């Protein structure tokens, strides 16, 4: 879908229809005096988030963790390395289903598969869990805008 340019802003930049609506909505907010500039600042914040590799990795990890079967896999790997057939029994799912979930967890580098004889076993990758925990901790520790604590 192409964006249609709808008007030239007062600052001389082209805004598409969606941007124009956002600027109009921002102009209704009590604390915003220059809605076009404020929109531009907000857009820059969004772009900086998209370029933050740690944030992107953490986001992908949270997506992977958002599935209960994957979470069960991780919980079972906390105890010991496991082969696919053990995970099939734990999840009560077929090998293709289990392999799909394992692939998703491997893609975000939370687990690693390795051959042991004719079976593939999986282990947790501690340093990558630590990276995710550090990102979450940084988010919590550096946040100053907590509900109920806003001045």
Question: What domains, with CATH codes, occur in the chain?
Answer: 5-51 (no CATH), 56-129 (1.10.10.10)
Q: What is the pLDDT of residues 101-123, one digit of tens each?
A: 999 999 999 999 999 899 999 99
Q: Is the pLDDT of residue 13 over 80?
A: no
**pLDDT band at residue 1 using 50, 70 and 90 as cut-offs:** very low
The yes-or-no verdict on residue 5 having pLDDT over 80 is no
Three-state SS for the chain is CCCCEEEECCCCCEEEHHHHHHHHHHHCCCCCCCHHHHHHHHHHHHHHHHHCHHHHHHHHHHHHHCCHHHHHHHHHHHHCCEEHHHHHHHHCCCHHHHHHHHHHHHHCCCEEEEEECCEEEEEECHHHHHHHHHHHHHHHHHCCCCCCCCC
| Whether pLDDT at 6 is above 70 | no
């Amino acid at each position: 879908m192409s964006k249609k340019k709808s008007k030239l802003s007062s600052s001389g930049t082209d805004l598409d229809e969606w941007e124009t609506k956002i600027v109009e909505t921002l102009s209704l907010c009590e604390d915003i005096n220059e809605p076009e500039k404020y929109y531009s600042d907000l857009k820059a914040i969004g772009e900086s988030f998209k370029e933050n590799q740690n944030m992107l990795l953490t986001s992908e990890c949270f997506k992977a963790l958002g599935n209960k079967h994957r979470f069960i896999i991780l919980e079972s790997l906390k105890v010991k390395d496991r082969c696919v057939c053990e995970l099939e029994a734990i999840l009560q799912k077929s090998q293709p289903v289990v392999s799909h979930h394992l692939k998703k967890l491997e893609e975000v580098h939370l687990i690693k598969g390795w051959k042991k004889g004719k079976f593939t076993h999986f282990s947790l990758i501690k340093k990558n869990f630590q990276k995710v925990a550090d990102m979450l901790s940084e988010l919590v520790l550096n946040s100053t805008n907590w509900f109920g604590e806003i001045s």
